[in-house]
Amino acid sequence: MATGFLHIDLNALVSNWRALAAMSDAEAGAVVKADGYGLSSDRVAAALKAAGANRFFVATVEEGAKVRQAVGPDALIHVFGGHMAGDTDAILQLDLIPMINSLDQLTRQFESLPGKAFGVQLDTGMNRLGMEWSEWSAVASIVMAQSPALIMSHLACADETDHPMNAYQLETFRKMTDGVNVPRSLSATGGILLGKDYHFDVTRPGIGIYGGMPFTDASPVVKLDLPVIQIRDLTEGEVVGYGNSWQAARDSKIATVSGGYADGILRSLSNKNTKLWAGSIPCPIVGRVSMDLITVDVTDLDEAPEALSLLCPQQTVDDLADIAGTIGYEILTSLGGRYKRTYLS
């Protein structure tokens, strides 16, 4: 079978969520946007709901539809993107909670869905989404009279524990919201790790659930095996792949595996000493990552492998991200649709 095998350990995912939830007295929700960080939001959300999560966060109304089907009618599903034009019917039918980001969205919510649940997102300095202080001051009394389901903001630098922006945003959030009588939320994974001052009433663990940094104690959730299609012998001096970008310095055995940038294996991993693994033995990628194929030096293996692992205990999503010059989020959310997925639960 010439397709990769993506193994997703839902038990590890649930364990990571429980560990993050146990770090405070706040209610722990779960961020399942981007199709559950590339792992299928319905499977992820259903596993977390069974473990006790009852509040989920998605980016768009469209994402909320898939999660609602997975978690049933009683769970709370918040939409970070808020109430966009054209979303009204879906918000109503799916019983979603738009996180209002602007005065325009607030007007749309109050005019089209009066009395229906909504939340508010405030900008505390990230300048990305949410009402600014002046906007919030103008409408806070009106909003609070409608009892929003949640008031939240988002930390810009939570993965840097000593960054002064963290304390600044915490202080700003407190000034904007102290005295309100509805649940408040400031922290995703990084904020949870900053300590209880940042937790408020609801936390939003995301990347840490899926085994990524900055949650260093996370259990690995994904394993990616790529089947070997062919192995060929090269003599010293022969070249491999597009652009002849690798030349054998010795007689070599080169395995061609099924997978490439069409599957979310970033082309930037080419010629950077990236490795695939045969158990505990590293096998370097040679030549360029192409659309469907990767070539790997397996000269030092005693036996011809049937598959090699790109994501495994020896090489996590963050290890791969460091090599590629990106972050674990991108590695996970780039995982393609051609993999045969198996779920351990």
Is residue 292 within 8 Å of residue 258, measured between CB atoms? Answer: yes
Tell me what pLDDT residue 1 has: 57
0.85 surpassed by pTM: yes
DSSP assignment of 146-213 equals T--S-EE---SSTTSTT-HHHHHHHHHHHHHHTT--S-EE--SHHHHHH-GGGT-SEE---GGGGT-T
Is residue 149 within 8 Å of residue 97, measured between CB atoms? Answer: yes
Q: What is the chain's pLDDT, residue by residue, as a tens digit (345 residues)?
A: 578 999 999 999 999 999 999 999 999 999 999 999 999 999 999 999 999 999 999 999 999 999 999 999 999 999 999 999 999 999 999 999 999 999 999 999 999 999 999 999 999 999 999 999 999 999 999 999 999 999 999 999 999 999 999 999 999 999 999 999 999 999 999 999 999 999 999 999 999 999 999 999 999 999 999 999 999 999 999 999 999 999 999 999 999 999 999 999 999 999 998 999 999 999 999 999 999 999 999 999 999 999 999 999 999 999 999 999 999 999 999 999 999 999 998
Catalytic residues, which ones? 33, 242
For domain 10-210, give the fold: TIM Barrel (3.20.20)
CA distance 211 to 207: 7
What residue ranges do the domains of the chain occupy?
10-210, 222-344
CA distance 299 to 138: 68
Tell me what pLDDT residue 22 has: 97
Q: Indicate if 222-344 has the same CATH topology as 10-210.
A: no
Task: Tell which CATH classification among 2.60.40.10, 2.70.98.60, 2.40.37.10, 1.10.540.10 matches the domain 222-344.
Answer: 2.40.37.10
Is residue 241 within 8 Å of residue 286, measured between CB atoms? Answer: yes
Residue type, 223: K
Residues in a beta bridge with 157: none
Tell me what pLDDT residue 2 has: 75
Tell me what pLDDT residue 345 has: 87
CA distance 13 to 344: 10
